[in-house]
Structure 1
Amino acid sequence: MAEEELQGEEGGKKKSPLMLIIIIVVVLLVGGGGAAYFFLFMGDEEVAEESEDAQASEAESTIPATGIAIYVAMPRPFQFNAPGTTRERLVQIDVQLMVRGAENEALANRHIPMIEGNLLQVFSSANAEDLVTDVGKIDLRNKATAQVRQIMNELEKKPVVEQVLFTGFVIQ
């Protein structure tokens, strides 16, 4: 009887390390699979959204991609206060507009006061925490480009401006 209990305990000891190893392997596989799913598929949604936004903006734009790129500088930098959760920050942005061809350059120069007013409106609606990050700056530039194209569509019946570029960006 004592020998049977001893053999049962030894057999149980052999099974518990094996069971422990199996449990650890299963947990690692499930955790690794979940992490892989999160990184692979969640990143694809963001890329898909960005590509959808890019396709939508290309569809809206009727600017030919050919021609010489001309850069129209705004006469003065944009200065504004950006509210934040911890404190308000002062921001200064130097802007240039990229257009294609002399005709679009003349149209952009003609409407600089309207463009400045709309850009200042877009910039002043920005949040300080967003402007500190690269993603926030890119988002602000995309919003500014969309706003300028919309205004030029209303005024001249074509987008005129291909892209709004930040040539200087200071945040304090």
Structure 2
Amino acid sequence: MAETKPSEKKISTKLIIIIVLAALLLLLAGGGAGYFFFMKQSSETAHGQVTDGEGGKNEAAKPAEIIPEVYYDLAAPLLVNFPPGSSAKIIKVSLSVLVESDASVGVLKKHEPMIRNNLLMAISSIGADKAKTLEGKQELQAMMLNEIGKVMEKMAGKNTAKDVYFTEFVLQ
């Protein structure tokens, strides 16, 4: 009898462990199913998909069509010489322009000579000393976006330039 008591104790602890693990597994499965169900519903309502009373989606609640934005890299880097006595002799800048659509890229390509001219003037006006600082680079970036916007507005009737990004910025 002394031998049967330890074996009964082993069986009962094994049985308890199995029951606890099975209960834990059921809880995790239920929690995962609940998460999936509720997160799916909340994401649909967050994206404007309203359901009608019969479980179908309401067509009037569709979000506006999203137009993909496009990056356009200027063909060649912009090079500007600074006057003697400046802290740098030249600056070399390469740019990417973020525009609303492929049609806007066509406008940029068509009027790139005018855009390049205006950007070169903007770089010259900022000066080497200011271009070295973060604030100067940010100011130059804003000036460039403004100049590109002016050209697009003048030549195409609509400014679709969203942002300008430096892909290369060298001062020597």
TM-score by length of 1: 0.57
CA distance in 2, matches of 1:80, 1:100: 29
**More contact order relative to length (CA 8 Å, sep ≥ 6):** 1
Superposition pairs for residues 18-29 of structure 1, below 5 Å? none
1:150 aligned onto 2:150: yes
Q: Report the structure number with the largest CA radius of gyration.
A: 2
**Where does residue 167 of structure 1 map in the other structure?**
167
* Residues 88, 171 of structure 2: 8 Å contact kept: no
Larger proportion of helix: 1
Distance in 2 (alpha carbons) for counterparts of 1:87 and 1:101? 39
- CA distance in 1 between partners of 2:148 and 2:77 (Å): 16
CA contact (8 A) 1:107 1:160 kept: no
Partner of 1:49: none
- RMSD over aligned Cα atoms: 1.7
- The share of aligned pairs that are identical, in percent, is 25
Quick check: 1:96–1:166 contact (8 Å CA) kept in 2? yes
Deviation at 1:160, TM superposition (A): 2.4
Structure 1 residue identity aligned to 2:113: P
* TM superposition shift of 1:86: 5.2
Does the 8 A contact of 2:87 with 2:129 survive in 1?
no
- TM-score scaled by structure 2? 0.57
Code of the residue aligned with 1:147 in structure 2: it is E
Worse-matched range after superposition: 135-144 or 103-112: 103-112
CA distance in 1, matches of 2:103, 2:72: 12
**2:124 — aligned with what?**
124
Shift in Å, 1:72: 0.9
Which consecutive residues of structure 1, in runs of 5 or more, have no partner in the other structure? 1-65
Counterparts of 1:67 and 1:113, CA distance in 2: 27
- Which residue is 1:94 aligned to? 94
Deviation per CA, 1:97-129: give whole Å up to 9, x if none.
111112112222211111111111111212111
CA distance, structure 2, for counterparts of residue 84 and residue 138 of structure 1: 24
